[in-house]
């Protein structure tokens, strides 16, 4: 199946439609919430939460023996929340920095989860197969009820976001100030963190424990490059996330043996890369172009000013001078001289140059502008 | 005439770990003064303000604003945190930051409307930043960012203003602009408390001063207590400040 075929089938084929919808919704909700994680400088929180969810899946299976995703993800939610609040506890109660706390909880919970998974796999029970899909995710196992679940959570999340928009914003920007205004910052904090945990847990089945944090961070990091408004950033992150989901699914469905989760993450990474390079205000490309252009302009102005100084001492401003005398001037290049000729500021004759009236005037203006700026 | 007491601090003790940062502070801030809190680094100046504002929880002691606990008097108090306490790369505009000053009176869920926007624009104008209202905050200079923070506090329309080093890293023009606003606030009967570092300017800017170094060394009118004796007690070295008379 090629990509074209995929897009013609996506509206009719049940499996494709389910997976595409699921990954799109997942990408949207994680992108949205990821913006908050990124702006709070808690980028690694997502990674810690997703890893912390693993033992919950295993324990949930051991207790109930069930394999349906909702039961297992409930376990993931519980252990994800426990991990998160332990991280908070470690940060507030000890002197450890947040990266240490995150790393500690991440590896501790993940190690415990792996231990349980191995234990389960050794059990003489045919039912255990498939738990390891939560490690790397398996979008193909999504069914309609999973998608409904995602849609409902996303809807609630959107509602809460709109309702407490002002509170979230002030918490993100200036927590202590928010506190002096009388907002219960702890409650807002818990609310937003809980939603982040919820979104991550929802994605475990599709993208898996290991790669889940990329879903949270990549769309948000890409979105930040394009805007200076929080609302636009959250909206763009949701769009990027959703498109990563759709394109990722399309690519993996059109090729054999391409696992959906990793492809989605790679598509999201392409969004990030593209944004880092091509964003007009923050992108590397335009920054470099602006830098070079600025430098050129300065070189040009400096050379012109130098010429002006020389011409000034003569009665006739267009009196010809040897090009050689420019060589001693830092910032003069053949290129700048050519540019000046093109602009009709300077005329060349043999090995001499002379300033035109236009060039003299523009150099004078430059001078007045500079002295004005100094005031 | 006895002045009303705006802020009363009793037996305040604050500690982060074992070592107390503030020890047994008793402090009365009379209404209508422009007060500097001075002291060496680590003296607990910011901690004192944060404890009064309920950001930090003291180990012991109490704080009242016009005789009532802070929680009941929030609307009377505005706060200007240290400029470095937030991430200025946050995706928002100058006007948006100033509007945050209206969030407190709005309460939960309610969004700022025209009235709040108008008040915020007026505050921006007061600090001379109206032209920058749509500017992304990372593109403002340090002094401009400080003015934005001041505008955010002004929009709260409070009776008491607490400011944490508002002159840090700002140029002379901004410093003068800020001190003029503070003097205007005092003229309007407001109480202003400023954590301040530049001892030379204390007599010029302020009429009240508190010397702090974990303990309270002295508090009172600048003309009575701003002297070498108290400075030496606070800073631990022989401190001589030339007071222009």
3-state secondary structure chain B: CCCCEEEEEEEEEEECCCCEEEEEEEEEEECCCEEEEECCCCCCHHHHHHHHCCCCCCCEEEEEECCEEHHHCHHHEEEECCHHHCCCCCCCEHHHHHHHHHHHHHCCCCCCCHHHHHHHHHHHHHCCCHHHCCCEHHHCCHHHHHHHHHHHHHCCCCCEEEEECCCCCCCHHHHHHHHHHHHHHHHCCCEEEEECCCHHHHHHHCCEEEEEECEEEEEEEHHHHCCHHHHHHHHCCCCCCCCCC
Contact call for residues A61 and A67 (beta carbons, < 8 A): yes
Is A41 in the same domain as A157? yes
In chain A, the DSSP E strands lie at 321-322, 346-349, 352-355
Cβ pair B92:A230 closer than 8 A: yes
- Can you list the residues of chain A whose pLDDT is less than 70? 1, 125-129, 330-331, 367, 369-375
Q: Which two three-digit tokens encode residue A295?
A: 């430098």
Cβ pair A39:B90 closer than 8 A: yes
Is A210 in the same domain as A314? no
Is A49 in the same domain as A158? yes
For CA atoms B226, B228, B232, B233, the dihedral sign is negative
Residues in chain B closer than 8 A to A174 (CB atoms): 81, 85-86, 100
Cβ pair B90:A41 closer than 8 A: no
Rounded to whole angstroms, the Cα distance separating B102 from B111 reads 10
Is A277 in the same domain as A340? no
Taking residues B65-92, report their average pLDDT: 94
Rounded to whole angstroms, the Cα distance separating B140 from A294 reads 20
Q: Testing the interface with B: which of A92, A164, A165, A166 to mutate, by most B Cβ within 10 A?
A: A166
Contact call for residues A46 and A193 (beta carbons, < 8 A): no
Note whether B81 contacts A: Cβ–Cβ < 8 A.
yes
Instruction: Please report, rounded to a whole number, the percentage of residues in chain B having pLDDT higher than 70.
Output: 96
Is A48 in the same domain as A77? yes
Q: List all residues of chain A from 254 to 283 with a beta carbon under 8 Å from chain B.
A: none
Note whether B95 contacts A: Cβ–Cβ < 8 A.
no
Instruction: Write down the residue that tokens 């700048």 correspond to.
Output: A336
Cβ pair B54:A233 closer than 8 A: no
Instruction: Write down the residue that tokens 């430098």 correspond to.
Output: A295
Contact call for residues B25 and B219 (beta carbons, < 8 A): no
Q: Which of B81, B92, B109 shows the shortest C-beta gap to A163?
A: B109
Q: Which of A165, A173, A180 shows the shortest C-beta gap to B92?
A: A173
Cβ pair A169:B92 closer than 8 A: yes
Is A273 in the same domain as A291? no
Neighbours of A257 (CB within 10 A): 5
Is residue B239 domain-resident?
Answer: no
Closest residue of chain B to A188, computed from CA coordinates: B108
Domain count, chain B: 1
Q: CATH number of the domain that A343 lies in? A: 1.10.10.10
Q: Which two three-digit tokens encode residue B75?
A: 């609307």
Is A345 in the same domain as A312? yes
Computed over every residue of chain B, the mean pLDDT equals: 92
Cβ pair B79:A178 closer than 8 A: no
Rounded to whole angstroms, the Cα distance separating A198 from A202 reads 6
Contact call for residues B10 and B200 (beta carbons, < 8 A): no
Cβ pair B91:A167 closer than 8 A: no
Please name the residues in contact with A333: beta carbons below 8 A apart, sequence gap of 6 or more: A299
Rounded to whole angstroms, the Cα distance separating B133 from A206 reads 44
Is A229 in the same domain as A349? no
Note whether A176 contacts B: Cβ–Cβ < 8 A.
yes
Residues in chain A closer than 8 A to B112 (CB atoms): 166
For CA atoms A274, A277, A279, A285, the dihedral sign is negative
Cβ pair B74:A182 closer than 8 A: yes
Q: CATH number of the domain that B42 lies in? A: 3.40.50.300
User: Which residues sit opposite B134 in a β-bridge?
Assistant: none
> Does the pLDDT value for residue B1 go beyond 70?
no
Cβ pair B77:A39 closer than 8 A: no
Provide the shortest C-alpha distance from residue A227 to chain B (in Å). Answer: 7
- Identify the CA nearest to B22 among candidates B36, B10, B8: B10
Taking residues B37-54, report their average pLDDT: 94
Residues in chain A closer than 8 A to B97 (CB atoms): 173
What's residue B244's pLDDT? 46
The domain boundary residue, chosen from A282, A313, A329: A282
Contact call for residues B90 and A172 (beta carbons, < 8 A): yes
Is residue B238 domain-resident?
Answer: no
For CA atoms A147, A153, A156, A158, the dihedral sign is negative
Q: What is the pLDDT of residues B192-236, one digit of tens each?
A: 999 999 999 999 999 999 999 999 999 999 999 999 899 999 988
Note whether B49 contacts A: Cβ–Cβ < 8 A.
no
Is residue B243 domain-resident?
Answer: no
Cβ pair A178:B103 closer than 8 A: yes
Cβ pair B55:A179 closer than 8 A: yes
Is residue B242 domain-resident?
Answer: no
The domain boundary residue, chosen from A218, A249, A282: A282
Is A19 in the same domain as A108? yes
Q: β-strand B34-38 against B191-195: which pairing, if any?
A: parallel
Residue A354 in 3-state DSSP?
A: strand
The order of strands in the sheet holding A346-349 is: A321-322, A352-355, A346-349
Closest residue of chain B to A164, computed from CA coordinates: B109
Residue A130 in 3-state DSSP?
A: coil
Domain count, chain A: 2
What's residue B245's pLDDT? 41
Is A62 in the same domain as A125? yes
Burial code of B137-170, b = ≥16 C-beta within 10 A, e = fewer?
beebeebbbbbbbbbbbbbbebbbbbbbbbbeeb
The domain boundary residue, chosen from A282, A310, A345: A282
Q: What is the pTM of this model?
A: 0.87
Cβ pair B103:A170 closer than 8 A: yes
- Domain holding A111, by residue range, is 3-282
Residues in chain B closer than 8 A to A163 (CB atoms): 109
Q: What is the pLDDT of residues B135-156, one digit of tens each?
A: 999 999 999 999 999 999 999 9
Rounded to whole angstroms, the Cα distance separating A248 from A242 reads 10
- Domain holding B46, by residue range, is 5-232
Q: Testing the interface with A: which of B91, B105, B155 to mutate, by most A Cβ within 10 A?
A: B91
Cβ pair A228:B93 closer than 8 A: yes
Ramachandran area for residue B61 (φ above 0: left; ψ -120 to 50: alpha; else beta): left
What's residue A325's pLDDT? 77
Cβ pair B103:A183 closer than 8 A: yes
Q: Which of A163, A174, A228 shows the shortest C-beta gap to B136?
A: A228
Higher pLDDT, B131 or A353: B131
Provide the shortest C-alpha distance from residue A272 to chain B (in Å). Answer: 17
Q: What is the DSSP string of A233-264?
A: HHHHHHHHHHHHHHHHHHHHHHSTT--HHHHH
Is A276 in the same domain as A344? no
Residue A99 in 3-state DSSP?
A: helix
Rounded to whole angstroms, the Cα distance separating A23 from A249 reads 7
Residues in chain A closer than 8 A to B71 (CB atoms): 182
Residues in chain A closer than 8 A to B110 (CB atoms): 166
What's residue A374's pLDDT? 41
Note whether B136 contacts A: Cβ–Cβ < 8 A.
yes
Q: Which two three-digit tokens encode residue B231?
A: 């400075």
Is A260 in the same domain as A295? no
Rounded to whole angstroms, the Cα distance separating A234 from A236 reads 6
Residues in chain B closer than 8 A to A167 (CB atoms): 103, 108-109
Closest residue of chain A to B104, computed from CA coordinates: A181
Rounded to whole angstroms, the Cα distance separating A8 from A13 reads 9
Note whether A361 contacts B: Cβ–Cβ < 8 A.
no
Rounded to whole angstroms, the Cα distance separating B158 from B163 reads 13
Long-range contacts of A87-92 (CB under 8 A, 24+ apart): A87/A45, A87/A48, A88/A193
Helices A165-173/A185-207 angle, 10° precision: 100
For CA atoms A93, A96, A102, A106, the dihedral sign is negative
Note whether B212 contacts A: Cβ–Cβ < 8 A.
no
Taking residues B179-196, report their average pLDDT: 96
Distances from the Cα of A41 to the Cα of A170, A186, A274, B71, B87, angstroms? 15, 17, 22, 30, 10
Provide the shortest C-alpha distance from residue A230 to chain B (in Å). Answer: 5
Note whether A210 contacts B: Cβ–Cβ < 8 A.
no
Note whether A148 contacts B: Cβ–Cβ < 8 A.
no
């Amino acid at each position: 199946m090629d990509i074209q075929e995929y897009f013609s089938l996506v509206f009719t084929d049940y499996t494709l439609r389910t997976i595409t919808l699921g990954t799109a919704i997942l990408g949207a909700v994680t992108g949205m919430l990821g913006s908050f994680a990124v702006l709070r400088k808690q980028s690694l929180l997502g990674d810690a939460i997703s890893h912390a969810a693993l033992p919950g899946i295993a324990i949930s299976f051991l207790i109930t023996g069930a394999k349906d995703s909702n039961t297992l993800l409930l376990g993931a939610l519980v252990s994800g929340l426990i991990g998160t609040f332990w991280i908070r506890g470690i940060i507030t109660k000890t002197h450890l920095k947040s990266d240490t706390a995150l790393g500690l909880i991440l590896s501790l919970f993940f190690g415990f989860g792996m231990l349980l998974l191995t234990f389960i796999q050794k059990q003489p029970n045919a039912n255990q197969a498939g738990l390891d899909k939560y490690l790397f995710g398996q979008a193909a196992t999504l069914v309609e009820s999973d998608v409904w679940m995602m849609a409902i959570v996303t809807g609630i999340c959107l509602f809460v976001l709109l309702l407490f928009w002002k509170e979230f914003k002030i918490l993100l920007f200036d927590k202590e100030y928010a506190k002096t205004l009388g907002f219960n910052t702890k409650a807002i904090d818990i609310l937003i963190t809980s939603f982040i945990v919820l979104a991550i847990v929802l994605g475990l089945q599709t993208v898996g424990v290991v790669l889940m944090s990329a879903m949270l961070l990549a769309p948000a990091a890409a979105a930040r490059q394009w805007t200076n408004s929080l609302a636009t950033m959250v909206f763009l992150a949701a769009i990027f996330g959703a498109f990563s989901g759709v394109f990722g699914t399309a690519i993996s469905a059109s090729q054999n043996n391409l696992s959906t989760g990793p492809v989605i993450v790679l598509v999201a990474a392409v969004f990030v890369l593209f944004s880092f390079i091509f964003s007009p205000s923050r992108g590397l490309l335009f920054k470099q172009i602006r830098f070079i252009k600025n430098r050129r302009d300065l070189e040009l102005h400096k050379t012109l000013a130098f010429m002006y100084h020389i011409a000034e001492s003569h009665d006739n401003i267009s009196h010809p001078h040897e090009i050689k005398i420019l060589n001693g001037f830092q910032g003069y290049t053949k290129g700048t001289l050519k540019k000046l000729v093109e602009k009709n500021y300077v005329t060349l004759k043999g090995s001499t140059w002379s300033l035109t009236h236009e060039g003299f005037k523009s150099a004078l203006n430059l001078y007045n502008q500079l002295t004005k700026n100094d005031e | 005439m006895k002045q009303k007491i705006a802020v009363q601090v009793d037996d305040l003790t604050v500690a982060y770990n074992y070592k107390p940062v503030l020890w047994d502070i008793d402090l009365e801030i009379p209404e209508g003064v422009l007060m500097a809190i001075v002291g060496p680094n680590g003296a607990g100046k910011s901690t004192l303000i944060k404890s009064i504002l309920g950001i930090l929880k003291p180990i012991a002691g109490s704080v009242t604003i016009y005789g009532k606990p802070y929680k009941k008097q929030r609307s009377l108090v505005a706060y200007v945190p240290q400029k470095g306490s937030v991430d200025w790369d946050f995706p928002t505009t100058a006007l948006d930051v100033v509007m945050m000053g209206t969030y407190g009176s709005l309460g939960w869920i309610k969004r700022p409307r025209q009235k709040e926007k108008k008040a915020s624009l007026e505050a921006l104008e007061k600090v001379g930043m109206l032209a920058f209202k749509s500017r992304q905050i990372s593109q403002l200079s340090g002094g401009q960012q400080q003015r934005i923070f001041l505008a955010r506090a002004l929009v709260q329309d409070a009776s008491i203003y607490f400011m944490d080093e508002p002159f840090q890293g700002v140029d002379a023009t901004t410093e003068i602009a800020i001190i003029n606003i503070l003097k205007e606030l005092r003229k309007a009967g407001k109480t202003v408390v400023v954590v301040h570092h530049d001892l030379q300017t204390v007599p010029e800017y302020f009429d009240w001063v508190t010397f702090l170094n974990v303990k309270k060394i002295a508090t009172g009118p600048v003309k009575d207590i701003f002297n070498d004796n108290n400075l030496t007690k606070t800073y631990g070295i022989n401190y001589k400040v030339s007071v222009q008379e």
